[in-house]
Structure 1
Amino acid sequence: MAEQKPKGGVTKTAKARLELLWTVLPKIPSVIRVVLLHVLKMSEPSRYLDLRENVIVAFLRSLLDQPKPQPISKTQRMTLRDPGIKGRIWVSKVSAQVPPEESIRDVLLAAIDSSKGQFVVADGICRVPDIIPVEAEWTGYRAHASPSSELPAIPEQQKYAEMMKECSSDVTILYFHGGAYYLMDPASHRPTTKRLAKMTGGRVYSVRYRLAPQDPFPSALLDAFVSYMTLLYPPPGAVHAAVDASKIVFSGDSAGGNLSLALLQTILEIRRRGLKVTWFGHEREVPLPAAVAANSPWLDIVQSMPSWMTNQKMRSGLPNHHGNTFFIDDDFLLHPLACLHLNASWEGAPPIYVCCGWECLADEDKWFVSKLVKDGVAVVFEEYEAMPHVFAAILEKAPQSARCFDGWAKFISQACGSPQEIRSSFTTIKAKTMKEVDINVKNLSPFTEEDLRKFAFDRVGRKSSFPNTPAKL
């Protein structure tokens, strides 16, 4: 059906194209400069990236470095547009019913309170979000469609049933999209979730969690928790059957990686305290998932570690918000369920996959991996030489991206199939040769736990109340 043109104006599609044009035009001189420096081999990225990759990264960085900051609402609105669903993909849009009890929120708030330690301002009070129905997209690979195929005009439940006919494994990925906690949507991440579904033979439950600044911490974490319980214990009217925790992997990129790990740490804290959730009239356990697979996870919310300055040339995805205070109240900026690298322990966690490039958050990711090893957690770490933030999603045709998706998907499949065979490994993938080189995990991060606390407290302008002696967090 043709799009109707409003009475004295242009269509929404035309308006969107004009906005995009006015965004792109001012960037042309900087793109030309990047091309010239690349051809003359006068820029550092030209040593590692091909011309196409270099231009894409530079263009995305220029969008983030606006000389005149755009209103958050405008930027957010542009990233929430649904481009439509075409091609080899099944999408079934659902909205899970929430329980009549408030237990899930009470348990979450209890975990937040018991894990805050000395990281939260003494009289800081956590916001209490509403419990709301959480929308999500069941995503699967549609093998026999063409690139231009549209979804059939059938009910969402039937779309889900058709998707399930094409699943060849029992892998279920609980996916949280990136976007610095205030941008993006499951719709923007369909290429990623479709690819993971295809490579694992499973399905993806991609969550439309609440965004800041409208709904700051812990709204997104509550939505993630509700979504996990929805998979485990389907509410009335759900299209899916109960999913065993051993077949669920939390996954996400950037802020979504933060959210997947925050949900894991929340569950660890709930289990430490022996808490249960009353869910639709039944007292339910909160089991651990099979694993967590995080792509360039953003752990240091206040952006305090050195690589936030030293790796600016490879920044492509995260704006520098100097604390991102619209995501979380100032008193809670350093809470370990937001700044995940400040957590005391990950002991008892299931296997975890982490990948990153040479990006602003490389220091925090490497520190996190070394912490997991100390806490006895099986961890697979892949570092991609010279690659920018979440490169696998933005450089879709790069060989490094294919290798990244391969490692990411294989880990997920193994976690749901033979988790006992997962062995910790630490690897660098070279940029041009794709050669894989083992990393000595003992040399992965030069920082101590005391260094981390000092970086974080200095960043937010607070004095640490911890003793000035090395100690476990």
Structure 2
Amino acid sequence: MDVSPVGLARALIPQIPAIVTTVVLAFLRLFNRKQNDQWPQDFFTAIIVAVMRPIMSTPASLAKSQAQWLTDFGIWGPMWISKTTIPRAESHLSDGSSVVGVQEAVFRAIGHLGHEELHGLDFDVADVEVEWTGHRAGVSPIALRPNLSEKEQYNKMMQETSGECPTILYLHGGAFCLMDPATHRFTCAPLAKSCGGRCLSVRFRLSPQYTFPSALLDAFVAYLYLLSPPPGSFHQPVSSSRIVISGDSSGAGLGSALLLLLLTLRELNITHIRFHGKDVDITGTTGSASETATPPVAGLAIISPYVDVSRSLPSVYRNAGWDIIAPPPKEGPPCPNFPADAIWPTKPPRVETYCEARFVTHPLISTIAAQRSHWKGAPPVYISVGWELLQDEAEVLARRLYDAGATVIFDGYKGMPHCFQMMRWNWQGRQSMQNWGDFCRNVVSGHVKKQHVARWTDKHGAVTEVGLQELASGLGDSDVYERLQKKKERRVKLEINMRRL
């Protein structure tokens, strides 16, 4: 995706006839009440989809696209931003006890959840840059950032939050290879305002330069940083009961993988992680013999979740007419045909940017591959999704979490495209943002009630309720696993052939 002026022109000019046709038809529907009422998308959404789809679906150099999306255009408007870096955690090999190092914990979880050979997995702990984000009240949308130190910026932010506020561990979207906390400031700041809390937005390592599980490792480090800040950190320790993991698109997938990692470590009886000289308790207990373990976080709040990297389910084609993302090709390599540059193709070549083909259906990459039992002990979960390519995987994940005993709030919007919650051009986007923030605020105070139905809302505000067990009703668990396996086998064969050339 090339967002330079030249790149935008190349993507849009050939599509001008189609865009004009869409605008005309959308305009004519405004004068035909019956037709307009029946059409799932409102006027502006239809036009945005027509314009955004060619931009999003035109392959561009990954190196060039990363450089564009990593450009920081500054901080302004009603937000506090405080930048800091989490120092690299030390290596620690366990001696058979329940205390392990960060790297070993992730490695053990990968092995426990998957049957793939772990040879070739090359990852290490690194420094992790993060941004604290909060709402800044009483300023204009173009107000400049005050000339203060990062510590003072943090203190100013905390003056506008309460001690009992939610702390949102935010993981940005971008297909694991694009975007940055800087691109998501105008999502995190409104979310912080909506819930009355603060966000810690993580600059995790991007693919294809860093493959799985580097991003997951960085997210795990950020979680430990909240629980046990090293000396010199701005914040005080945050109780796990005040932390909400959140993210959009691939960041939502990474967030669900982080939750699955934490649940798996408990299953493996790993109770403490060595982190900057301390053995950090990840059980959520105080050590009392009579105390029941709490979930590792207060909740998981994800929007338009990308939780099937293999893109196996029918909605990746069925919903193409409503989404800003183009469906994957049915033949040949499943990834976009990115032009060759310094970082792609990799050496040796891969089919997927994020991982080797043999790992594409690993539960810590595609969390819909996790079995129901893997989600035992999960906290309440909020999922918001539209009529997008990722609808089926969002529904499968919601159903499986519900079947595992979790409280699931499913907030669906008919006719809406990928990540509409972040753009908020219509009332559906604004409503979803409010619901997202409400969940984050309520879940840390224990006020999220058990639900048994999912809600699908149309553009008129009419709500259709569907039993959570009935979501993705045509996709039983065995069917989902079979589809995943077929897509994995296809990628493995393609990757073997690529490496023979």
Q: What is the aligned partner in structure 2 of residue 360 from structure 1?
A: 389
Cα–Cα, structure 1 residues 269 and 238, in superposed 2: closer, same or farther, change >3 Å?
Answer: same
- 1:432 deviation in Å? 2.3
- 1:459 deviation in Å? 1.4
Q: What is the aligned partner in structure 1 of residue 47 from structure 2?
A: 55
Task: Say whether 1:176 aligns with 2:164.
Answer: no
- 1:442 deviation in Å? 3.2
| Distance in 1 between residues matched to 2:381 and 2:47, nearest whole Å | 32
Cα–Cα, structure 1 residues 237 and 405, in superposed 2: closer, same or farther, change >3 Å?
Answer: same
Q: Aligned runs of 1:48-197 on 2, under 5 Å?
A: 48-66=40-58, 69-102=59-92, 103-117=101-115, 120=116, 123-168=117-162, 169-197=164-192
| Distance in 2 between residues matched to 1:207 and 1:246, nearest whole Å | 20
Deviations 1:352-376 (A, max 9, x none): 1111111111111111111112111
Deviations 1:104-124 (A, max 9, x none): 01111111111113xx3xx45
| SS in structure 1 at match of 2:47 | helix
Q: Among 17, 20, 26, which residue is 1:29 paired with?
A: 17
Letter in 2 for 1:304: S
- 1:25 deviation in Å? 4.3
Q: What is the aligned partner in structure 1 of residue 496 from structure 2?
A: none
Deviations 1:6-62 (A, max 9, x none): xxxxxxxxx955655555545433321211232344999981222222111121111
| Distance in 1 between residues matched to 2:318 and 2:419, nearest whole Å | 18
Q: What is the aligned partner in structure 2 of residue 8 from structure 1?
A: none
| Distance in 2 between residues matched to 1:440 and 1:332, nearest whole Å | 32
Q: What is the aligned partner in structure 2 of residue 229 from structure 1?
A: 224
| Distance in 2 between residues matched to 1:170 and 1:78, nearest whole Å | 34
Q: Is the 8 A contact 1:179 1:318 kept in 2?
A: no
Deviations 1:133-185 (A, max 9, x none): 11111000000221111111111000000010011352100000111111111
Task: Say whether 1:315 aligns with 2:303.
Answer: no
| Distance in 2 between residues matched to 1:405 and 1:125, nearest whole Å | 42
The CA RMSD over aligned residues, in Å, is: 2.3
Task: Say whether 1:450 aligns with 2:478.
Answer: yes
Letter in 2 for 1:231: L
Letter in 1 for 2:305: P
| Distance in 2 between residues matched to 1:463 and 1:131, nearest whole Å | 28
Q: What is the aligned partner in structure 2 of residue 432 from structure 1?
A: 459
| SS in structure 1 at match of 2:489 | coil
Higher alpha-carbon deviation: 98-107 or 132-141: 98-107
| Distance in 1 between residues matched to 2:204 and 2:491, nearest whole Å | 33
Task: Say whether 1:257 aligns with 2:258.
Answer: no
Higher alpha-carbon deviation: 354-363 or 215-224: 354-363
Letter in 2 for 1:456: L
| SS in structure 1 at match of 2:393 | helix
Cα–Cα, structure 1 residues 217 and 463, in superposed 2: closer, same or farther, change >3 Å?
Answer: closer
| SS in structure 1 at match of 2:453 | strand
Deviations 1:162-212 (A, max 9, x none): 010011352100000111111111111111101111111110001111111
- 1:440 deviation in Å? 2.0
Task: Say whether 1:415 aligns with 2:443.
Answer: yes
Letter in 2 for 1:366: E
| SS in structure 2 at match of 1:250 | strand
Identity between Structure 1 and Structure 2 (%): 34
Deviations 1:319-377 (A, max 9, x none): 73726611111121111111110112211111111111111111111111111121111
In structure 1, the gaps of 5 or more residues are 1-14, 465-473
Cα–Cα, structure 1 residues 269 and 126, in superposed 2: closer, same or farther, change >3 Å?
Answer: farther
Aligned length: 442
Higher alpha-carbon deviation: 370-379 or 252-261: 370-379
Letter in 1 for 2:238: V
Q: Is the 8 A contact 1:298 1:361 kept in 2?
A: yes
Q: What is the aligned partner in structure 2 of residue 6 from structure 1?
A: none
Deviations 1:279-310 (A, max 9, x none): 12222222401110011111111000111111
Letter in 1 for 2:464: V
Deviations 1:380-418 (A, max 9, x none): 111111111111113x12110111011111111111112
Q: Is the 8 A contact 1:248 1:289 kept in 2?
A: yes
Letter in 1 for 2:303: N
Q: What is the aligned partner in structure 1 of residue 197 from structure 2?
A: 202
